[in-house]
Amino acid sequence: MTDTLVYSRKLRIATGSKRTTKVWQNRESEWRDIVKSLQRVSYTGETVAQYHDMGKREKDERKDVGGFVGGYLEDGRRLTQKVKLRSMLTLDADSPSASFKDDLTRVLGENAYALYSTHSYTKEKPRYRVVVPLSEDVEPDAYQAVARKVADDIGMHHFDPTTFDTARLFYWPSAPTGGDFECAVNDKPLLEPKRVLAAYVDWRDCTSWPTSANETAIRKTDFKKLGEPTEKPGLIGLFAGCTPSREPSRDISLTCMNRRTTPTATPTRPGRRRAVLSSTTISSHTAITARTR
């Protein structure tokens, strides 16, 4: 079927032979060729029961048959700050409810996508990966806005809250010996990211991006821990007191600003750098929290 896919374009992806690969290979591949790879499953020798009895580290080794990032990585480094563009959405449906496939069809039935099962998949506890090619490449912040809106329309509860990481790795399909494998392909026009972004009043305002219940709870907890900035001593309290907002802690925490530095233009201070604020994603905290749990 993939040879006869009507809808396809060249997509920029980065591939690695292992999750620990230091330098990933940037390349361009036709969507139909990527689909072929997603339809091929590697069986890794252990039985389903043996796999589920393994510890996390051994499971990670078993399912690591190489993978891809759905975008271009500067210098081939799989780091959030090195993602320069995304060409596809990659969504982890780790806790799909019984309505998941119907919800997916309801939202993306008129767009191209591929759905395949994970190494941990069983009929009793299904887990899926969803790959949605985009009609054009998008910058990392726009990717976040598009991915979150699509996931929210399908049902945020189906997805892992860290799935919106721009440097997210997807393994190529694999399964235990004798395990079940599913793959479904929808041959429709590629999703237009501009149409998704148009659903926002201002997609650049990341406080308007949909979040999972887990992320919302984390953010509320963080606000309580931070306290009221206007009551803090020193420069923090002074700065917060000058902020024209009734809720400075909320405004500052949710504007998704990230410090970076650039060389100063002052010739007498060539070694100095000045701080610049730029927008970044709101998934970073969730990813860090998930890794430390």
pLDDT tens, position by position, 172-222: 999 999 999 999 999 999 999 999 999 999 999 999 999 988 776 545 544
Average pLDDT over residues 123-135: 97
Q: CA 171, CA 183: separation in Å to the nearest integer?
A: 14
Neighbours of 183 (CB within 10 A): 16
Query: What integer pLDDT is reported at residue 50 of this predicted model?
Result: 97
At 94, list the tokens: 């780790």
CB 215 within 8 Å of CB 286: yes
H/E segment holding residue 243: none
At 139, list the tokens: 């910058």
Query: What integer pLDDT is reported at residue 289 of this predicted model?
Result: 36
Query: What integer pLDDT is reported at residue 224 of this predicted model?
Result: 52
Query: What integer pLDDT is reported at residue 206 of this predicted model?
Result: 93
**Quick check: 287 pLDDT over 50?**
no
More confident residue, 65 or 282: 65
pLDDT tens per residue across span 134-182: 999 999 999 999 999 999 999 999 999 999 999 999 999 999 999 999 9
Terminal CA-CA length for the chain: 42
Query: What integer pLDDT is reported at residue 285 of this predicted model?
Result: 40
| Phi then psi dihedrals of residue 78, to 5 deg | -85, 70
Q: CA 238, CA 82: separation in Å to the nearest integer?
A: 35
| C-alpha count within 13 angstroms, C-beta hemisphere, residue 212 | 21
Query: What integer pLDDT is reported at residue 63 of this predicted model?
Result: 96
For the chain, what is the radius of gyration of the CA atoms? 21
| Phi then psi dihedrals of residue 290, to 5 deg | -65, -35
Question: Which residue, chain included where needed, has tokens 């589920």?
Answer: 52
| Of 66, 70, 79, residue with least CA distance to 26 | 70
**Quick check: 270 pLDDT over 90?**
no
How far is C-alpha 159 from the chain's CA centre?
10
Query: What integer pLDDT is reported at residue 4 of this predicted model?
Result: 84
CB 151 within 8 Å of CB 159: yes
- For the chain, the maximum distance between any two Cα atoms, rounded to a whole number of angstroms, is 69
